[in-house]
Amino acid sequence: MKRLTILGATGSVGASTLDLVARNPERFEVVALTAGRDWRRLAELAVAHRARAAVIADEAAYAELKAALTGTGIAVSAGPAALVEAARMEADLVVAAIVGAAGLPPTLAALEAGISVALANKEALVCAGHLMTAAAARSGATLLPIDSEHNAIFQVLESRERVRRIVLTASGGPFRCWSRERMQGVTPAEAVKHPTWSMGAKISVDSATLMNKGLELIEAWHLFGLSPEQLGVLVHPQSLVHGLVEYVDGSVLAQLGPADMRVPIAHALAWPERIATPVERLNLAAIGRLEFEEADRERFPALALAEAALADGLCRPCVLNAANEVAVAAFLEEKIPFLAIADVVGETLAAIRPRRPETLADVDAADAAARSSAQQFVYLNHVSRFAAQHASG
């Protein structure tokens, strides 16, 4: 029996993980489940999967969650510190599936406690990858990637020394063929409608700007210990080839699979074994051909910003990530247009340069400084558009 804690159990990755858990009751048992706000869904999941503990990040939801689970024997707690406690409960694997830098403290706590982590929460690694990999090395915990591209690389990476480069594929998102002009009027509903994957809102917007691929390059840098020049991106609209490793002798090993997150999640849950999944099988003869193209950094400047942040070193990725979280939230709330997401991130990167983060407190400080700067740029964008409308109208 593998004992699992799932951070972010009510999200898209959380749901795919629990689907696999339910299909393999002889293999997995649930220790703790956590959620951000949705206490109703969390209570249902905790009962259905017989969790020992249910933890809600939003303290205001504690009373409702507690009432919903009265008489079940499931321990209930709330708040960020309770999330960290949940991540430290005795378990064999913590599935890190919270969205955003909010997932960093509990994920890091699990690694520090020597509990292996199956990581979907790429933002945690982008902000503090060096702290996470150091904690894992100290405690002996294993960091297993769930992100499909990184899971693909993990599956085909034999030895780092013989690698020439690795390539992450990108679907290109819903606006792959759109001009910048056409992208000006993109609505949140259009941006979250991903052509090949079904995911949470934030990562769907990141896929539409290609920031997701930029964050993933930084994620790969921390996970695989290669230099930034050895990490590449290739647009592959079908999302069937997820990652490629090119070796010094010219061999290229790739991992293929349907665009269903249950494939990489099953790999990480069962590793080093494999379990069956109910996903649709690849029929390559029916697919006929595989398509690839270069990424366009002019139409998708977020990718170039992330590449520059990666090349520039450790504190820039944290600033990039925080500014992006603020900008994506502002776009989803219809405060700024789609194309302003990358503007806000670029302006924030240019405006602040916190010191190189050595501790979690340094990361928090860089993150907070970037968020407050990004909020100002969101506000300025709003004001200038209002003024322009006023002048022309």
* Residue 11 found at the interface with ligand NAD (CB under 6 A): yes
Please report how close the Cβ of residue 199 comes to Mg ion at its closest, in angstroms. Answer: 9
* Residue 362 found at the interface with ligand NAD (CB under 6 A): no
Residues written for the chain: 393
Among 12, 171, 239, 321, binds ligand NAD (CB under 6 A): 12
Among 53, 54, 84, 122, binds ligand NAD (CB under 6 A): 122
Which residue's CB is nearer to Mg ion, number 324 or number 373? 324
CA dihedral for 32, 14, 41, 36, sign (positive or negative): positive
Which residue's CB is nearer to ligand NAD, number 324 or number 381? 324
Among 79, 114, 195, 200, binds ligand NAD (CB under 6 A): 200
* Partner interacting with residue 8 (select from ligand NAD, Mg ion, none; CB below 5-8 Å by kind): ligand NAD
- What is d(CA 302, CA 339) in angstroms, rounded to the nearest whole number? 10
* Residue 13 found at the interface with ligand NAD (CB under 6 A): yes
Among 4, 46, 78, 98, binds ligand NAD (CB under 6 A): 98
Among 20, 199, 208, 310, binds ligand NAD (CB under 6 A): 199
- Cβ 348 vs Cβ 340: under 8 Å: no
By CB under 6 A, which span of 25-33, 117-125, 242-250, 322-330 interacts with ligand NAD? 117-125
DSSP letter for 293, please: B
- 73: exposed, middle or buried (C-beta count within 10 Å: 0-12, 13-18, 19+)? exposed
* Residue 127 found at the interface with ligand NAD (CB under 6 A): no
* Residue 121 found at the interface with ligand NAD (CB under 6 A): yes
CA dihedral for 58, 60, 63, 68, sign (positive or negative): negative
Which tokens belong to 108? Answer: 């890091």
Please report how close the Cβ of residue 182 comes to ligand NAD at its closest, in angstroms. Answer: 26
Which residue's CB is nearer to ligand NAD, number 119 or number 226? 119
* Residue 108 found at the interface with ligand NAD (CB under 6 A): no
* Residue 233 found at the interface with ligand NAD (CB under 6 A): no
* Partner interacting with residue 320 (select from ligand NAD, Mg ion, none; CB below 5-8 Å by kind): none
Query: How wide is the angle at C-alpha 275 spanned by C-alphas 274 and 277, nearest 5°?
Result: 130
- What is d(CA 229, CA 331) in angstroms, rounded to the nearest whole number? 32
Task: Locate the DSSP E strands across the chain.
Answer: 2-7, 28-35, 53-56, 75-78, 93-96, 116-119, 143-145, 163-170, 231-235, 241-247, 252-256
Which tokens belong to 223? Answer: 């996970």
* Partner interacting with residue 378 (select from ligand NAD, Mg ion, none; CB below 5-8 Å by kind): none
- What is d(CA 25, CA 40) in angstroms, rounded to the nearest whole number? 23
Residues that bind ligand NAD (CB under 6 A): 8-14, 35-36, 38, 57, 97-99, 102, 120-123, 147, 197, 199-200, 203, 261
